[in-house]
Amino acid sequence: MQAILFYLTAVVAILSAFFVMKCRNPINSALNLVTTFLCLAVFYVMLESPFMAAVQIMVYAGAIMVLIIFVIMLLNLGLTVKTRYTHGLAAGGILSVMVLFVANYFTRAGEATGTGGSVTSELIASYGHTELIGRAMFVDFLLPFEIASILLLVAIVGAVVLSKRKV
């Protein structure tokens, strides 16, 4: 049951990822990207991470992609001209297939800790998934979490400085 669901979602994810590149209409590309993100959210649910799934939908599908679509609409982009860089595409394709094989090799060879990590299903069941994430954020990675706020501030200031006509 889980396996069937996984493969179904994976097929949808890969197909829509493919159409992100293939579509000539930017809106369609963006929508396919949304589908990919939704599939990722399904994967998170299957990995017993409902919090991540919800955040994935909220942040990526609900906020970032909406902004991208907003920009596409504002610019009213038409169909993109077919590019001539076909060999670039081919190279990218070959590269990603190679990465796929390498990733496959890593997982088969058992070099990744994978399910042997410290966060197990039992821990999630007893402690709660959201609580674990909260713990990681506010105990183990408190400083990086706070640095991220400075990072966002810098990014906002930078965007304003670079784009606003009259500062």
Partner 1 sequence: MTDPLLSLALILAKLIAVFGVILTLAAYLVLAERKLLARMQLRYGPNRVGPFGMMQPLADVIKLLTKEDFVPATADKWLFLIAPGLSAVTALLTFAVVPFGPPLEIFGKTLPLVVIDLNVGVLYFLGLSSLAVYGMALGGWASNSKYSLLGSIRGLSQLISYELSMGLAIVPVVMMARSFSLTEIVMAQEKIPYLLLNPLAFPIFLISVLAESKRIPFDLPEAENELVGGFHTEYSGMRFGLFFVGEYINLIILGSMVTVFFLGGWHGPWLPGVVWFALKVLAICAFFIWVRGSMPRLRYDQLMHFGWKVLLPLSLLNVLVTGAVLLGMS
Partner 2 sequence: MENLVQEAIQNVNMQAIMPSLVLCVFGMVLLMVSVFSKRGNTTHVAWLSIAALVITGFVTLSGWNNPQGGFADSVLFDNFATFFSMICIIAAGLTILMSDDYLKREGSPVGEYYPLILFTTAGAMWMASGTDLMTIFLGLEVLSISLYVLAGFFRDQTRSNEAGLKYFFLGAFSTGFLLYGVALLYGVTGTTKIQGIAAYVQANPDSAMNTMFIAGGLLLLVGFLFKIAAAPFHMWTPDVYQGAPTPITAFMSAGPKAAAFAALMRVTIVGLDGLQSELTSLFWVLAVLTMTVGNFIALSQKDLKRMLAYSSISHAGYAMVGLVAWNAVGLSAILFYMLVYTFMNMGAFAVLVLIGKKGEDNLTLDGVAGLGYKKPILGIALTIFLFSLMGLPPTAGFTAKFYIFAGAIKAGYIWLAVLGVLNSAVSLYYYLRIMVQMYFKDPEEDFAWVKINVPTAISIAISVVGVLYLGIVPGAVMNLAKLAGF
CB 34 within 8 A of CB 57: no
CB of 109 to partner 1, least distance (A): 35
47 binds, among partner 1, partner 2, none (CB under 5 to 8 A by kind): none
Residues across the chain = 167
35 binds, among partner 1, partner 2, none (CB under 5 to 8 A by kind): none
Residues at the interface with partner 1 (CB under 8 A): 25, 27-28, 31, 34, 50-51, 53-55, 57-58, 61-63, 66-67, 69-70, 73-74, 76, 128-130
Indicate which single residue of 47, 105, 125, 126 sits in contact with partner 2 (rule: CB under 8 A).
105
CB 72 within 8 A of CB 26: yes
Residue range at the interface with partner 2 (CB under 8 A); choices 13-21, 35-43, 79-87, 157-165: 157-165
Token couple for 112: 């990744």
The site string for partner 2 over 113-152 (x = CB under 8 A, - otherwise) reads: xx-xxx---------------xx--xxxxxxx--xx-xx-
DSSP state of 48: T
Q: Is 155 in the site for partner 2 (CB under 8 A)?
A: yes
Q: Is 111 in the site for partner 2 (CB under 8 A)?
A: yes
Q: Please measure the distance between the N-terminal and C-terminal CA atoms of the chain and give it in whole angstroms.
A: 58
> By three-state DSSP, how is residue 120 classified?
coil
Our CA dihedral for 109, 46, 139, 119, rounded to 10 degrees, sits at -40
DSSP state of 24: S
Token couple for 12: 């949808």
CB of 78 to partner 1, least distance (A): 11
CB 32 within 8 A of CB 17: yes
Q: Could you list the residues that contact partner 2 (CB under 8 A)?
A: 102, 105-106, 109, 111-114, 116-118, 134-135, 138-144, 147-148, 150-151, 153-155, 157-158, 160-162, 166-167
